[in-house]
Amino acid sequence: MKERIVTILEQFGLFFLFWMRSLGSVFRRPFRVRLILEQMERIGVESVPIIGLSSLAIGMIFSLQMVQLLQPFRAEIAVGTAVAVTLARELAPIITTLMLIGKNGSAMAAELGTMRVTEQIDAMETMSVDPIHFLTVPRVMACIVMFPMLTLMANVVGVFGAWVVAVWAMEVESATYLEQMFTVLRARDVLQGMLKAAVMGYMTAIICTFYGYHAENGAQGVGEASTKAVVSSSVAILVADYVMAMIFWG
């Protein structure tokens, strides 16, 4: 038990030092714009299909459930409001982040873990190249930018999927659906959801690169680092989501 506590405290200490080093590297020259753009393409552009399909399915399923729930009360016209607000505030940021953790977070941990166990990171340090500035910062900046953009796309696609189900499958009036949605949904809801996504993107990048950077014990260690990165970042963003929800709407 004592050894377990010591190990946990050591991990927290390592993470804190890694986090502080990454913060200090963000504004240090040279600004590696090309690497940031490459990561933005990998994290953002290449993730459009999976985020689009996921948000479309979520919107359609949520709309179907809401219409069936509200029909006995003759309140199905409120489905547009319920779907749009819930997507903007909670579902779009959470679904987007969880999908990107599975797709890109695990890849970050595996890439950096492989570089660590094959001593590529050690070679960079030998050549006086800061591996955190070179490897971590571009991924962090790309996540901060692309997570909100993909969340905005998830909002649009999810609302469209909900509209299709409500209007074409459940025979809710299109004009009423849209009127109710735009009456209640505010720009603040969308912007705060995007802000949540930016924070979650930052947390995802820091946690996943941390586990990859400190991977050890060969191929098995890389696999363990990827697993820990996905689990830890998923739990962390769910806790952060609750905290931000209390701050924004509590």
Is residue 199 situated within a structural domain?
A: yes
Residue 230's pLDDT band, with cuts at 50, 70 and 90, is: very high
* Stronger pLDDT, 12 or 158, i.e. the higher one: 158
Is residue 233 situated within a structural domain?
A: yes
Q: In 10 A of CB 52, how many CB atoms?
A: 17
pLDDT digits (tens, 9 = 90+) for 39-59: 999 999 999 999 999 999 999
Is residue 209 situated within a structural domain?
A: yes
The pLDDT value recorded for residue 181 is 86
The pLDDT value recorded for residue 218 is 83
The pLDDT value recorded for residue 44 is 93
Is residue 141 situated within a structural domain?
A: yes
Per-residue pLDDT at 38 exceeds 80: yes
Count how many domains the chain has: 1
Q: Which domain holds residue 240?
A: 31-249
User: Token pair of 226, please?
Assistant: 């990827």
Averaged pLDDT of the chain: 90
Is residue 64 situated within a structural domain?
A: yes
Residue 174's pLDDT band, with cuts at 50, 70 and 90, is: confident
pLDDT digits (tens, 9 = 90+) for 51-86: 999 999 999 999 888 888 887 777 777 888 888 999
Is residue 193 situated within a structural domain?
A: yes
Percent of the chain with pLDDT over 70: 100
Is residue 6 situated within a structural domain?
A: no
Contacts of 103 (CB under 8 A, 6+ apart): 47, 50
Is residue 207 situated within a structural domain?
A: yes
